[in-house]
Chain A
Amino acid sequence: MVKKLKVFTITVFFMVLWAPLLQNAVRLAKSKPLTENRNLEVLPRHWPDLFKPDNPFCRRLERFFDDRYGFRGELIRVKNQLDYSLFHESRRIVIGKDGWLFYKSIVEDEEIQVERASPSAYLTMFERMLQLRRYLHARGITLVVMPIPLKNSIYPEYLPSNTAHRQTPNGFERFRQFLSDHPEIVTIDAEVELLKLKQSMPVFHKTDFHWNDVVGAHLAKRLVDTLGQLSGLGTLWSSPIEMEWRPLRGGGQNGSLGLIWPLPEVGMFLRGAEVVSDPASRQAWQDTNEWIYVSSEPGNPRLIPTTVMYGDSFEISFYRAGYRSHFSKLQKHWNWNFDKEFGNWPAQTKFLVIQHVETVLNLFLDDSRWPEEVKKEPLSKGEALRSNPVGGSTV
């Protein structure tokens, strides 16, 4: 009897060890893949690397196996579910009160990096912003900046106590103060809008990184109307902004939580969204963050002139609200490609919009990421910085 039990255990032990390989080979069971927003490792093919020190070929092969072995998704979900259910924890997500989720990499890493930049780095960044404005102004382009606070800045009350804290004022607040002190840089302060809207509606999804599309539509309207007024066209937005409630599926933070049973959320959505206006005019370059849109009526005087936007995934809600139809030509780059794609603009560009979430300040605080042509732009003597980035008092 004892021997039979031992043989049984050994057999199960072997079955467990062989299961992933067999799953890859013959698909023992159905398996639902995880969404990771990255390219999985590919099979290495450069055989000479086998004979290099530390064998990089085998290390890549190991990473390839790590990304693709059988039942990987199931094992990940089991672990994440146990962590969440037993300890109310996740390796990647800050689990807040009342089901609110926040990315750890944002709250505990990228935002803290913004805080840890030196006062001189902030001063340099502010100078670069002024230089950028002058550079663009000399070329007939108006700079428009739309800084966007993240979920934990708008909903700090839902953060748990065991996560990172930021001093007051934090780096993003100091940046907004700088913009406020320099009205020559056209600023659409999203935080003001969001705090206003927060009084009457949820502005961020609980289980996704982004604001909801209703809020996105409000900000899109602000952007379009601002550019319209600057173009002498007045307010241009006329579409109603109506909301509807339905289950949110595929929230990014929910996905990163990687549970067997994702957290349910009924989210607020824009009624009539997802309808692309003037679809024939859209030309995609690479992905949702790099494209060019050309109106089928480029001569229409009620369209905003050629605009370049450096933005991110928050801009997608503008798209779903139909904002592109207000532009004669709109070119979008990912804001993290600001330095690589600087100057790659259509002729007769009139507006350059920088739409960015607060952690993109890490890019602007890195002086090596600023284009040389901006750094060379002289600042006038009178263009002294009017706010002290450290203490908040004016000069």
Chain B
Amino acid sequence: MVFSSNLFLFSFLPIVLSFYFLIPERHRNAYLFGVGVVFYFWGSGPVTGIFLLCIVVNYSSGRWITRATPAASKLILAGVVVLDLSFLVYYKYFNFVAQLTSDLLRFLGIHWTSGSHVALPIGISFFTFQALSYPIEIYRRVDKPLNRLVDFGAYLAMFPHLIAGPIVRCSDISKEIRQRTVTVDQFFSGTVRFTLGLAKKVVIANQIGSPVDKIFKLSPEELTTPLAWLGIVCYAFQIYYDFSGYSDMAIGMGRMLGFEFPENFDQPYRSHSVTEFWRRWHMTLSKWFRDFLYIPLGGNRLGPGRTYFNLAIVFFLCGLWHGASWTFVFWGIFHGTLLIAERMLRVQFGFQLRGWWGNAATVLLVFMGWVLFRADSLHAAGSYFLALFRFQSHVSDFETFPFRYYLQNSVAFVLILGAFFAWLPCERLEIQHWLKKPAGVVLQGAVSLFLLFYSAAVLAESGFNPFIYFRF
């Protein structure tokens, strides 16, 4: 069940929210835990058992770490990290490794297939990283363990961030887990944020996604250079608004329930370098890798060579985290290479792009990286890159679908809107004070209710599937 579905919006959410405020406060964590498990089971079925096991193991490890000697707690931590990562590796990468093995053996003339296919539990990448942060932070004395399994379950299974982030650490919300009240201001802020996120996903991302799917399905002979650029520009906005919209919905729902989740996006396309891009894009993931991998590896404290190596490892794994496919791995390597190159240029040559040039170069590089992210295979990505720079071997003379077929009026409008808000310097607008006044509240309320209504209309229409021929 995704947030941008009719069932979630008009059944799950109103029922869950209504009962949340009807039950006594002391039972709300248990309620959130139960609702989260139901939410997870809805999409995953029996694999929910793995998720519950993850909750029990990580909660228990937190308590053991606190009570054990330093040496034993180190062992416990190592054990739970290995266990959590084993689940992730098995469920997410078994099929990929099996295919890789099969390809290698075929190259050697041996025919072998694994014969089994492991189903991927929804959101395993997210909840594993969230779960892992708990025992690690307890070991580091960043936070104290939660007293009850139900409280930890409420944290990990909280449906707003369960399957697609933000990657919320227990320490981010442990205070609210233990004690919280939901104020009118907070709930109102949550509704505005939620509807904004819904509109970003449904109105902007889904609309822009329509030409992307068509363009990326074109054969190399049909993929002209203008279409290739249109496809990648649209995809860049689709992925941004889709992901940031989902994060906004999660943050909004978190507020409605009394929690302040960390921000996940900060207008990443305004960045002047790829380094800055990763401080603005999927911020909770980059912080997770920084705190739990990059810094433990030594960060930038052990000299430039080791720094570059650490960056390479982090971004290789970051690519792999995004998906069990070579395209994601190469996307991670691509970004890692760019970061290393930027660092080299800055540290050793004192060179750094700034201003408009820096932004333009960053956007160009990031957009090109999205080709790898979106393509079905490395071969398809290669063909796409050739098309971007007019190096295709052959383009068909006859155009079955003209350029305007892909760039319809509504797509063009939404693209312009998306670009406007992606670059709008919100921090300079100084409207925070005005938004607190009655006129500001009325505007926020009106806009959010309009966006909710319009998003609902878009969702409804996407399910309208009349048949031409009578088929019953």
Chain A residues in the interface with B (C-beta under 8 A): 1-3, 5-10, 12-14, 16-21, 34-39, 50-55, 58, 61-62, 65-67, 69-70, 72, 75-76, 78-80, 82-83, 86-89, 91-92, 103, 105-106, 108, 112, 115, 161-167, 209, 252, 255-256, 258, 287-289, 312-313, 336
Contacts and interface: CB of A to CB of B under 8 A. Distances in A.
B184 A10 contact: yes
A79 B457 contact: yes
Chain B: interface residue count, which band? 35 or more
Contact of A287 (B7, B402, B453, B470): B470
A79 B458 contact: yes
A169 to B, nearest CB: 13
Contacts of A16: 449, 452-453, 456
B52 to A, nearest CB: 15
A13 B459 CA distance: 17
A18 B461 contact: no
A105 B409 CA distance: 19
Contact of A76 (B43, B47, B461): B461
A65 B461 CA distance: 14
A53 B187 CA distance: 36
A121 to B, nearest CB: 17
Give the 9 A-B CB pairs with smallest separation, nearest first.
A9-B445, A75-B460, A162-B404, A55-B45, A17-B14, A79-B457, A79-B461, A6-B188, A87-B409
Interface in B330-353: none
17 contacts: A5-B441, A6-B445, A13-B452, A20-B11, A21-B11, A34-B466, A55-B41, A65-B6, A65-B11, A66-B7, A72-B463, A76-B457, A108-B401, A165-B401, A256-B468, A258-B464, A336-B469
A333 to B, nearest CB: 14
Given A87-B410, A162-B402, A163-B405, A21 B14 contact: yes
A38 B471 contact: yes
Given A2-B438, A53-B45, A75-B456, A289 B470 contact: yes
A10 B148 CA distance: 32
Interface in B178-204: 184-185, 187-188, 191, 195
Contacts of A3: 184-185
B467 A38 contact: yes
Interface in B42-95: 42-47
Contact of A9 (B191, B401, B467): B191
B466 A256 contact: yes
A21 B468 contact: no
B184 A76 contact: no
A167 B397 CA distance: 11
A37 B184 CA distance: 46
Contacts of A313: 469-470
Nearest to A70: B10
Contacts of B11: 20-21, 65, 69
Contacts of A61: 7
Contacts of B43: 54-55, 58
A91 B400 contact: no
A274 B410 CA distance: 42
Nearest to B456: A75
B301 interface: no
B208 to A, nearest CB: 14
Interface of B: 1, 5-7, 9-11, 13-14, 17-18, 41-47, 119, 184-185, 187-188, 191, 195, 398-402, 404-405, 408-410, 413, 436-438, 441-442, 444-445, 448-449, 452-454, 456-461, 463-472
A242 B445 CA distance: 60
Given A55-B43, A58-B43, A89-B408, A164 B400 contact: yes
B146 to A, nearest CB: 29
A49 to B, nearest CB: 9
Contacts of B464: 34, 36, 76, 80, 92, 258
A67 B463 contact: yes
Contacts of B458: 79
Contact of B45 (A52, A62, A79, A162): A52
A54 B467 contact: no
A312 B437 CA distance: 64
B445 A8 contact: yes
Contacts of B463: 66-67, 72
Nearest to B405: A162
A164 B464 CA distance: 23
Contacts of B459: 75
Contacts of B402: 161-162, 165
B410 A83 contact: yes
Nearest to A110: B468
Contacts of B405: 108, 162-164
A161 B401 CA distance: 10
Residue of B18, B454, B468 with most partner-chain A CB within 10 A: B468
Contacts of B444: 9
Nearest to A162: B404
A55 B44 contact: yes
B471 A10 contact: no
Contacts of A106: 468
B445 A5 contact: yes
A51 B442 contact: no
Given A89-B410, A161-B404, 7 more contacts: A38-B471, A54-B45, A58-B43, A69-B7, A75-B456, A76-B464, A162-B404
